[in-house]
Chains A and B, each alone.
Chain A
Amino acid sequence: MKLRVKFSKHGALRFIGHLDVMRYFQKAIRRAGIDIAYSTGFSPHQIMSFAAPLGVGLESNGEYMDIEVCSLTSTQEFVDALNAQMADGIKVLEVKLLPDNAGNAMASVAAARYTVAFRKEYYPFFLNSSVVDNFMSQEQIIVTKKTKKSESTFDMKPYIFECLFQKENCSITMTVDASSANNLKPSLVVRALYEANKQEFDDFGLFITREETYTNVGTADAVQLKPLGAVGVNIDE
């Protein structure tokens, strides 16, 4: 049985890196006594895969991992059992039983929605709805991407599905490509926005929360995003 687990990550735990979160869940699953399936071979390991790694320092309300279990009483019981083992900061939000033909979490990821808030001292006074809308109405949004070896330019526009200014709390919400091939970091979008407006940009000024991770249930041309958890079902006792 394949399960998709959705969890949130807040507070001090945003400083725990992706690999450590994996190790953390492996231990939590053991402590919770969950009947997880193991790989065969000399050193069996839990069958578990994560959707999209979250950078250190980011919070999230929409992380996913897939695991395989040998037995399950109910999805609610699973959530409760795992939550009883969580450290302050990580919470299991839902568990869904996946259909047998469901793709694995990582391959399924198409996009993610983020809230980008600003730290006090970094409040961007130039920002408002029309600045963001103007930014988004460009034909192309060319940015340079630096890697260790080279510098290349690319157009990020096709990878931004939505980008809006939220007046009430002065934040930006955006839905961007998060697939393993074209993952777009929200900070890169904000940087381009700052540069387009000739503003000085500091990565540290941003406080980013991943709100949800999506899969594409449409086609490559007609993208239709659904939360990763929407493909599964609840199981009652």
Chain B
Amino acid sequence: MRNLALSDDILMKVEKPARYIGNEVNSVMKSKPDISVRFAMCFPDVYEIGMSHLGIQILYDMLNRFDDTWCERVYSPWPDLDAIMREKKIPLFALESQDPIKEFDFLGITIQYEMCYTNILQILDLSQIPLIATERTWESPIVIGGGPCSYNPEPIAAFFDIFYIGEGETQYRALLDLYKKCRESGESREAFLVEAAKLPGMYVPRFYEVTYYEDGTIKSFEPTRADIPRTILKEIVTDVSNTYYPEKPVVPFIKCTQDRVVLEIQRGCIRGCRFCQAGQLYRPVRERDVEMLKSYAIKMLDNTGYDEISLSSLSSSDYTHLEELINFLIDKCKEKKVNISLPSLRIDAFSLDVMEKVQDVRKSSLTFAPEAGSQRLRNVINKGLMEEDIIKGATLAFEGGWNRVKLYFMLGLPTETEEDIHGIAELSNKIAVAFYDTVPKEKRTGKVQIVASTSFFIPKPFTPFQWAPQCTKEQFLEKAYKTRRAILEQLNQKSIKYNWHEADASVMEGIFARGDRRLSKPILKAYQKGCIFDAWGEYYKHDIWMETFAECGIDIAFYTTRERSLDEVFPWDFIDCGVSKTFLKKEWQRALEEQVTPNCQQQCNACGAARFQCGICSAKKEGGSL
């Protein structure tokens, strides 16, 4: 039996000790003497969140298929254990072997949201790895970052040896081979990093230098060596049907956020909503072969014993073979008594029919994401959803027996006016009216329940809105109060519940999202003052953050509310995600002109992603041109 890194008295003291013991079904154990590369894969948040992440499951499976590599997992110790580990100087350990992370060759950290940055420092610190990358020796693992936030890695560049830009399936083998070669021939850590920086998709921040203008914007961003690239092109899997995907995902003992089989049906999105970063980063859309998905669905259910399967993608309704796949799943899942969950489906006759088959109508609610309250603003953000589609979908749903509707909106979008905010209330009311018009009195079981939620818009890199100013906290809150008042004015206000997001955290997220290298100082300092788990409301210490920014001479407005000029060099411009800056500029212009851009299915808009020669870009199109 394995020895645990934590003693019994610690495990009995902390909340949910099962977070730290490993040994889950399908977790991979290997024999150390047979292994030449030890890889610790980290999601810098609590176990239940980290274990729900598909990307790590894919890479964990892939790396463990390599005979010479053992990939293990590590997550952020919850604050109760964090305090004990600091006090007793217990080094952070991997779940499988329970060995200290500092003994590993690689520490891979997936960076899914900005608010986890201090947790990255927590991971490094508890692992007893120097926080600043350039202070590390071969005594420390190579710290490599990936995931969506690595598309603007600058605020945390100081803490990483390498960022892997793009999809992990393609370059890890080459990186591990390079590592083995360098270790065998006794190369220095620096020499290895130079070679790594030459591999596709690898960004080694220490070899790039930034200079600034007096106004704080970037003057130049250049490599300090001639033999490494000036720009880093993202890595992409061109054939998503013949690649790595886990047949035996790890099954946690404790209930996690995503407690089911997850089947990723496609990558990317055809839609091009202008606020959405994922929609640009993962272009072009690439569908997995439906036969592959069917076969994985069965294998994964059989190998995990889960009683639920969920389809994952940015917009499942756009998947070509959706109907065939769903019918197959309904058939098989009935046999196996497995539930099907279908997030991100457009509400129409087909999806309602499917949902009626797979869900308990009385219990489930319908979700629409109009994102903006008026058609004008929906055109600005290029959200193709029309009001009549929403009302029609809702009406169909009410006829089918649903009486709960969730609506998602954003506040603070570029060009937003009072009318747009009012539109949120009016649309909510119209849906309530549709219910009372559709469902006769004798058939109603209680009131219709409409929940309208708003989040605050945060401009993200590589979107057409990357030039847009973000609202101040006061503006955000004013907008939320206006929305609330407008909803209270509606005839059916008693059927409408309104929720809005935290404004403080949105400001913070905005600073990091478009931040630069100068932010690593306040991040480090805030961490040293005790900031961790910033994504968790109860641990987020807004005052300490604001105080720290002030101490470090950071002007928050420079990162958030400032309007960027079209020729400004952005901290993330050295990354090429396939979509060109020219295209994004054009889209920003079209947004201001309230012009809708057709989706990739309708026509090619020459965004630049066609250079990858895969997915929808290489499919033959009728009406469009390349």
Chain A residues packing against B (C-beta within 8 Å): 10-13, 15-17, 20, 23-24, 26-31, 38, 42-44, 56-57, 85, 87-89, 119, 204
**Interface presence of B4 (CB below 8 A):** yes
B4 contacts A30, CB within 8 Å? no
B190 within 8 A of A: no
User: Can you report 18 A-B residue pairs in the complex whose CB atoms are below 8 A from each other?
Assistant: A12-B21, A12-B22, A13-B23, A15-B17, A15-B21, A17-B18, A20-B18, A26-B305, A27-B305, A29-B305, A30-B305, A31-B303, A43-B339, A43-B360, A56-B17, A85-B25, A204-B8, A204-B9
**Smallest Cβ-Cβ distance to A205: which chain B residue:** B9
List of B residues within 8 angstroms of A43 by Cβ: 339, 360
Q: How far is the CB of A141 from chain B (nearest CB, A)?
A: 26
Task: Please name the 8 residue pairs, one residue from A and one from B, whose CB atoms are nearest each other, closest first.
Answer: A27-B305, A30-B305, A15-B17, A31-B305, A12-B21, A42-B360, A11-B1, A16-B253
A28 adjacent to B305 (CB under 8 Å): yes
What's the least CB distance linking A1 to chain B, in Å? 18
Interface string of B305-331 (1 = CB under 8 A from A): 111000000000000000000000000
Residue interface bits B245-267, CB-to-A below 8 A is 1, else 0:
00000010111000000000000
Verify if B620 is at the interface (C-beta below 8 Å from A). no
- Is there an interface contact between B307 and A30, defined as CB atoms closer than 8 Å? yes
Within 8 A of A (CB), among B1-41: 1-2, 4, 8-9, 11-12, 17-18, 21-25
B21 to chain A, nearest CB (A): 4
Q: Tell me, yes or no, whether B302 is within 8 Å of chain A by CB.
A: yes
Which B residues lie within 8 Å of A30 (CB)?
301, 305-307, 336
- Using CB atoms, name the residue of chain A closest to B14: A15
Chain B residue contacts of A31, Cβ below 8 A:
25, 302-305
A89 B23 Cβ-Cβ under 8 A: yes
Q: Which residues of B contact A17 (CB under 8 A)?
A: 18, 254
12 additional A-B residue pairs with CB within 8 Å, beyond A16-B253, A31-B302: A12-B21, A12-B23, A13-B253, A15-B17, A17-B18, A20-B18, A24-B253, A27-B305, A27-B306, A38-B337, A56-B12, A57-B12
Chain A: minimal CB distance from B410 (Å) = 34
Known contacts A26-B307, A43-B339; is-contact A16 B302 (Cβ 8 Å): no
Find the B residue at minimum CB distance from A25.
Answer: B305
Considering the complex, which residues of chain B in the window 244-294 have a beta carbon less than 8 Å from any beta carbon of chain A? 251, 253-255
A56 contacts across to B, CB distance below 8 A = 12, 17
Is the beta-carbon distance between B23 and A20 smaller than 8 angstroms? no
Task: Report the bound CA distance from A1 to B25 in whole Å.
Answer: 28
A23/B22 in contact, CB under 8 A: no
* Contact code string B200-226 (vs A, CB < 8 Å = 1, else 0): 000000000000000000000000000
Given contacts A15-B11, A16-B18, A57-B12, contact A87 B307 (CB under 8 A): no
Q: Are B304 and A27 in contact (CB under 8 A)?
A: yes
Q: How many residues of B contact A (CB 8 A)?
A: 29
B306 proximity list for chain A (CB < 8 A): 27, 30
Q: Mark B61-103, 1 if CB is under 8 A from A, else 0.
A: 0000000000000000000000000000000000000000000
Q: Pick from A15, A31, A42, A43 the residue with the most CB of B within 10 Å.
A: A15
B307: chain A residues at CB < 8 Å are 26-27, 30
Closest A residue to B4 by beta carbon equals A12
Pick the residue among B2, B11, B254, B337 that contacts A44 (CB under 8 A): B337
Bound CA span A52–B208, Å: 62
- The minimal Cβ–Cβ distance linking A22 to chain B, given in whole angstroms, is 11
A88: nearest chain-B partner, CB-CB: B23
Question: A88 and B18: CB pair below 8 A?
Answer: no
Which residues of chain A are near B302, meaning CB under 8 Å? 31
Q: Which residue of B lies closest to A41 (CB)?
A: B360
Bound together, the chains give a CA A28 to CA B24 distance in angstroms of: 12
Greatest chain A CB density within 10 A among B304, B305, B336 is at: B305
Q: How far is the CB of B98 from chain A (nearest CB, A)?
A: 9
Question: How many Å from the CB of B470 to the closest CB on chain A?
Answer: 42
* Closest A residue by C-beta to B302: A31
Q: How far is the CA of A20 from the CA of B25 in the complex (A)?
A: 13
Q: Measured between alpha carbons, how far is A87 from B27 in the docked complex, in Å?
A: 10
What residues of chain B lie closer than 8 Å to A204, measured between beta carbons?
8-9, 12
Known: A204-B9, A204-B12. A87 touches B23 (CB 8 A): yes
Q: Give chain B nearest CB distance to A96 CB in angstroms.
A: 23
A12-B12 contact, Cβ under 8 Å, with A27-B306, A31-B305, A43-B339: no
**Chain A residues within 8 Å of B23, by CB:** 12-13, 87-89
Q: Within 8 Å CB of A89, what residues of B?
A: 1, 23
In the bound complex, residues from chain B placing their C-beta under 8 Å from that of A13 are: 21, 23, 253
A34 → B minimal CB distance (Å): 10
A27 to B252, CA, bound (A): 11
Instruction: Give chain A residues whose Cβ lies under 8 Å from the Cβ of B25.
Output: 24, 27-28, 31, 85, 87
Contact status A15-B18, CB under 8 Å: yes
- Chain A residue nearest to B11 (CB atoms) is A15
Rounded to whole angstroms, the CA-CA distance of A44 and B8 in the bound complex is: 38
Q: Which residue of B lies closest to A23 (CB)?
A: B255
A57, B254: Cα distance in complex, Å: 15
Shortest CB-to-CB span from A8 to chain B, Å, is 13
Tell me, in angstroms, the Cα distance from A16 to B11 when the chains sit together. 11
Contact residues in A for B2 (Cβ distance below 8 Å): 11-12, 88
List of B residues within 8 angstroms of A26 by Cβ: 305, 307
Residues of A within 8 Å of B8, CB to CB, are: 57, 119, 204
Q: Once the chains are docked, how many angstroms separate the CA of A43 from the CA of B301?
A: 17
How far does the alpha carbon of A24 sit from the alpha carbon of B253 in the complex, in Å?
6
A139 CB → nearest B CB, Å: 35
What chain B residues lie within 8 Å of A85 (beta carbons)?
25, 305
Residues of A close to B251: CB separation below 8 A: 27
Q: From A28, which residue of chain B is reached at the shortest CB distance?
A: B305
Residues of A within 8 A of B337 (CB): 38, 44
Q: How far is the CA of A26 from the CA of B308 in the complex (A)?
A: 12
Residues of A contacting B18 in the complex (Cβ-Cβ under 8 angstroms): 15-17, 20
A140 to B11, CA, bound (A): 36
The CA of A28 and the CA of B302, in the complex, are separated in Å by: 10
Nearest B residue (CB) for A121: B9
Q: How far is the CA of A57 from the CA of B8 in the complex (A)?
A: 8
Bound form: Cα–Cα A154–B226 in Å: 82
Contact with A along B554-597 (1 / 0, CB 8 A): 00000000000000000000000000000000000000000000
Q: A194: shortest Cβ distance to chain B, in Å?
A: 18
Q: Which residue of A lies closest to B254 (CB)?
A: A20
Name the residue of chain B whose CB is nearest to the CB of A42.
B360
Q: What residues of chain A lie closer than 8 Å to B11, measured between beta carbons?
A: 15, 57
CA A13 to CA B304, docked complex, whole Å: 18
Evaluate contact between A20 and B305: CB separation under 8 angstroms.
no
> A204 vs B10: C-alpha distance in the bound complex, in angstroms?
10
Which interface residue of B22, B24, B251, B253 has the most chain A CB atoms within 10 A? B253
The interface residues of chain A lying within 8 Å CB-to-CB of B24 are: 87
**Hey, what's the 0/1 contact readout for B331-345 against A, CB within 8 Å counting as 1?**
000001101000000
* CB neighbours of A27 from chain B (8 A): 25, 251, 304-307
Expressed in whole angstroms, the Cα–Cα distance for A23 and B24 within the complex equals 13
Given A29, A38, A88, which contacts B1 in the complex, CB threshold below 8 Å?
A: A88
**Closest beta carbon of chain A to B287's beta carbon, Å:** 29
